Structure 1
Amino acid sequence: MNVNTSLRLLAAAGAVLLAGACGTGGQDAGAPAAAGGGQKPVSTTARDWKGVADALGREGKVMGGTVYRVALPRGDLKVTSYGVQVKAGLALGSYAAFARYPGGQNLAMGDLVVTEKELPKVTDALQKAGIDQTALHKHLLAQTPQIWWTHFHATGTNQEKIARGLKAVLDATGTPPSAKPTSPGPVGLDTRAIDKALGTKGTSEGGIYKFTFAHNQTITAHGRVLPPAMGVTTAINFQPTGGGKAAINGDFAMTAGEVQKVIKALRAGGIDIVELHNHALDDDPRLFYLHFWANDNAVKLARGLGHAVDNQDVKPAG
Structure 2
Amino acid sequence: MSSCQRLADIIGGEVITSTPVCVVQRLRNINATILGRRTRSPLALPFALSFENNKNGETLNLGETVILQSEINPFLSALRRRGITVTAVHNHWLFENPRLMYMHWENVGDPFEFARNSYKAAKEVGLI
TM-score range relative to shorter protein: 0.7 to 0.9
Question: How far apart are 1:166 and its partner, in Å?
Answer: 0.8
- What do the CA deviations read for 1:187-235 (whole angstroms, capped 9, x no partner)? xxxxxxxxxxxxxxxxxxxxxxxxxxxxxxxxxxxxxxxxxxxxxxxxx
1:57 aligns with 2:12: yes
Partner of 1:160: 112
Residue ranges of structure 1 left out of the alignment (5+ in a row): 1-45, 176-318
Which structure has more RCO (C-alpha within 8 Å, separation ≥ 6)?
2
Partner of 1:85: 38
> After the TM superposition, which residues 31-110 of structure 1 pair with which residues of structure 2 at under 5 Å, given as runs?
47-49=2-4, 51-63=6-18, 65-74=19-28, 76-110=29-63
> After the TM superposition, which residues 175-186 of structure 1 pair with which residues of structure 2 at under 5 Å, given as runs?
175=128
1:170 aligns with 2:122: yes
TM-score by length of 1: 0.36
**CA RMSD of superposed structures (Å):** 2.2
Partner of 2:69: 116
1:135 aligns with 2:104: no
CA distance change for structure 1 residues 54 and 85 in 2, over 3 Å: closer, same or farther?
Answer: closer
Q: Please give the alpha-carbon distance, in whole angstroms, between the structure 2 residues aligned to 1:54 and 1:95.
A: 12
Is the 8 Å Cα contact of residues 96 and 109 (structure 1) preserved in structure 2?
Answer: yes
Question: How far apart are 1:128 and its partner, in Å?
Answer: 1.2
**Letter of the 2:15 counterpart:** G
* Higher Cα Rg, which structure: 1
TM-score by length of 2: 0.81
Percent identity between matched residues is 25
Question: How far apart are 1:120 and its partner, in Å?
Answer: 1.4
Q: Please give the alpha-carbon distance, in whole angstroms, between the structure 2 residues aligned to 1:58 and 1:84.
A: 25
Question: How far apart are 1:114 and its partner, in Å?
Answer: 1.0
Is the 8 Å Cα contact of residues 94 and 111 (structure 1) preserved in structure 2?
Answer: yes
How many residues are treated as equivalent by the alignment?
Answer: 127
**Letter of the 2:113 counterpart:** K
> After the TM superposition, which residues 283-298 of structure 1 pair with which residues of structure 2 at under 5 Å, given as runs?
none
Residue ranges of structure 2 left out of the alignment (5+ in a row): none
Is the 8 Å Cα contact of residues 8 and 25 (structure 2) preserved in structure 1?
Answer: no
